[in-house]
Structure 1
């Protein structure tokens, strides 16, 4: 009888000595996107640029306002245009307000100024890190007559790790847009 109890006790010890179960962390699907091919955006507005063929352009609420939709990423870049009428400083303040409203959720905001004097294209490019509603923003102006802003939004909850591949892809597209941005007059 004692032998049976010892045998059961030793068997239970040997069987139960295994690895502790560890819960499997939830993961997201790794997303890869095609290499972009750029095409020129022609319109009746004061500006033109090149954009990725991965995006689709649709009209927004007002003339010369557009959405660059990335349907497979559930993302869109909202592009707005304002003519400058002695209110240049107001446009700059409003663009910066749109950026710095995200400081509550942003862990960092990287600002890069750019200028292309030969095309009279000047502005700032903002990259917002963390769980912000808009990850990338910019404004571009000729500083006398025209002012354009753009904001990237995703149709999902802000998850920086999950959105990182899409943000990186669109960031390259936005930089190409700025590199090819021109005023028509």
Structure 2
């Protein structure tokens, strides 16, 4: 009886596989986003800009505070506005504090200053690398009356490799927002 079991087992082992098993090739997830189209932001606020048609604009807690929601990316840009009342330096410090609070997780922070003197728009754009909760931030001001900040957040754990395509897409949208940003007269 044992000889029959051994014979059947060996027969199955020798004749059961016709081809060698090949591992599947490693594949990358391909994320494609729509070509950028932009809408003009219109409101009673002191500023205007163009924002991505891929994003949905919703009101936030205070007047002239908004969320630019990217539902398919689970991302949100939080835009805030503060009137300057002899507290310009305080607003700049607070904006920079929001950036540098992420140094615990960020592997680097790239800061780019920008200025559009013809539109009286000045500020800094911050790109935070690594496992930071917020990857992109900026502030824009005319340095006398108005101060606007924006912060990008994802509704997920910070995974730099997985989020990189979405961050790059939204970065282009934020740069376009800044290029078209203007104060109302």
Q: How many residues are paired up?
A: 169
Answer whether contact 1:28 1:162 (CA < 8 A) is retained: no
Per the TM alignment, residue 147 of structure 1 is displaced from its structure 2 partner at its CA by 0.0
Partner of 1:177: 177
Cross-structure match for 1:114 = 114
CA distance in 2, matches of 1:143, 1:109: 24
Q: Which runs of 5+ in 1 are unaligned?
A: 1-7, 13-17
Aligned residue runs from structure 1 range 102-181, under 5 A: 102-181=102-181
Q: What is the match of residue 4 of structure 2?
A: none
Question: Gaps spanning 5+ residues in structure 2: where?
Answer: 1-9, 15-19
How many angstroms apart in 2 are the aligned matches of 1:135 and 1:69? 15
The list of structure 1 runs, each at least 4 consecutive aligned residues, that deviate by more than 2 angstroms after superposition, is 27-30
Q: Does structure 1 residue 98 correspond to structure 2 residue 98?
A: yes
Question: SS where residue 119 of structure 1 aligns?
Answer: coil
- Deviation sequence 1:89-118 (CA, Å, 0-9, x none): 000000000000000000000000000000
CA distance 1:174–1:41, shift in 2 (3 Å): same
Deviation of residue 29 (structure 1)?
A: 3.0
Corresponding residue number in structure 1 for 2:85: 85
Displacement of 1:32: 1.1
Normalised to the residue count of structure 1, the TM-score between the two structures is 0.86
Alpha-carbon distance in 2 for matches of 1:141, 1:28: 41
Do structure 1's residue 53 and structure 2's residue 53 form an aligned pair? Answer: yes
1:50 to partner: Cα distance? 0.2
* Counterparts of 1:37 and 1:148, CA distance in 2: 23
Give TM-score, length-normalised by structure 2.
0.86
- Please give the root-mean-square deviation of Cα atoms over the aligned residues, in Å: 2.1
The one-character-per-residue Cα deviations of 1:40-61 (angstroms, maximum 9, x if unpaired) are: 0001000000011000000000
